[in-house]
Chain A
Amino acid sequence: MKILVVDDFSTMRRIIKNLLRDLGYTNTEEADDGITALPMLQTGRFDFLVTDWNMPGMTGLDLLKEVRKDASLVGMPVLMVTAESKREQIIEAAQAGVNGYVVKPFTAATLKEKIDKIFERVES
């Protein structure tokens, strides 16, 4: 299981990577926005995407839309971890095909719960 963590703040990437490692996901890589993340995803090396929304260059929502447009990535589970909390935005992300939505600040338990839920659904 290889996971790509996308966030423009390096500290947030480190926090998420550490939490993922605690959950047993040790194989992770980082990108600082959608523009760097997309070609990494297109190499086909990743099984799961965790992304922030508000980033310079390409936002997480645009990245999600690109992923859903790409035939080889269309089924990739995507978890959005973001501070964006407007109802209409959450609905927009859901419509764009996000698999889970975690608002910052979040706890390790919330992250675990959402990831478990996504994999349960993917496997079933």
Chain B
Amino acid sequence: MVDMETRNDLLEKAKQLVTSLESGDDEAATNTLEQLADFSENDLFREVGRLTRELHEAINGFLLDAKITDLAQREIPDASERLTYVITMTEKSANTTLGAVEESLPLANELGEKATELSGKWDLFRERKMTVDDFRILSGDLTSFLSIAKSHSKSLHGNLSSVLLAQDFQDLTGQIIRQVIALVTDIEDKLVQLVRISGAKMPEKKYESDENKLEGPIVPGVEQGDVVEGQDDVDDLLSSLGF
């Protein structure tokens, strides 16, 4: 918009131009024309100047935002450290659990096998089909079984307790992952600001499948292309291929 003063000024110059042209004063007409051209150029330059200043201020404001430097220098490397620690913790927990299970399975097996063996002999005794000598052997077997049962159940209890304790990773890794999610959201906001400053249009969100990229586990709520729903889908797909 042109203000009143400028409008009057313009009108004055236009009238002068008409007068000069009518009177055949070419020099004065050219002069007035140049002044008119200057006027529109000034206006354009003012507008470009304003935009440049705004852009400059926006970029400066963005760069001066201490959070950005902090994000790049500290928080992102920190997040990598944290996530690596999540892998370490989950691995440790899995190993503790697996160790306890591997130690417990043979104990449970031994108890089961010995109990089956004894119960066969015990049935013979109850049916009065056992000689005194066999009973003496059974009595010895029972004594040793009771002692094994006592010590194995103690070991099983210990192993199960360590499986229980090994689940503490869920709480700790959950907290760490939440912090990283907050960081990623923060970075997303900053990136959106940056895109806004540069004036580029946000591209429409579109899932592009990269055939060579391995997607890893199915994550509910994340678009991963044409994935199967589970083992049944895999079986259906393979059987449709003649498997």
Contacts and interface: CB of A to CB of B under 8 A. Distances in A.
Our verdict on whether A and B bind, yes or no, reads yes
Interface of A: 9-11, 14-15, 18, 53-54, 59, 83-91, 94, 101-106, 110
Interface residues of B, number: 25
B102 A18 contact: yes
B238 interface: yes
A108 B127 CA distance: 41
B214 A103 contact: no
Contacts of B218: 83, 85
Contacts of B216: 54, 83-84
B91 interface: yes
A18 B98 contact: yes
Given A91-B241, A103-B230, A110-B231, A86 B102 contact: no
A83 B214 CA distance: 9
Interface of B: 91, 94-95, 98, 101-102, 105, 211, 214-218, 224-228, 230-231, 234, 237-238, 241, 243
Contacts of B230: 103
30 contacts: A10-B91, A11-B94, A11-B95, A14-B95, A15-B98, A18-B102, A53-B214, A54-B214, A59-B214, A83-B217, A83-B218, A84-B214, A85-B215, A85-B227, A85-B234, A86-B225, A86-B228, A88-B211, A88-B226, A89-B214, A91-B237, A91-B241, A94-B238, A101-B234, A102-B234, A103-B234, A104-B217, A105-B217, A106-B231, A110-B231
Contacts of B231: 102-103, 106, 110
B237 A86 contact: no
Contacts of B217: 83, 85, 104-105
Given A54-B216, A85-B215, A14 B98 contact: yes
Contacts of A9: 91
Given A10-B91, A11-B94, A84-B214, 5 more contacts: A10-B95, A18-B105, A86-B225, A86-B227, A101-B238
Contact of B101 (A18, A105, A110): A18
Nearest to B225: A86
A104 B230 CA distance: 9
Contacts of A110: 231
B3 to A, nearest CB: 64
A85 B94 CA distance: 24
A9 B92 CA distance: 12
Contacts of A54: 214, 216
A88 B102 CA distance: 37
A83 B217 CA distance: 5
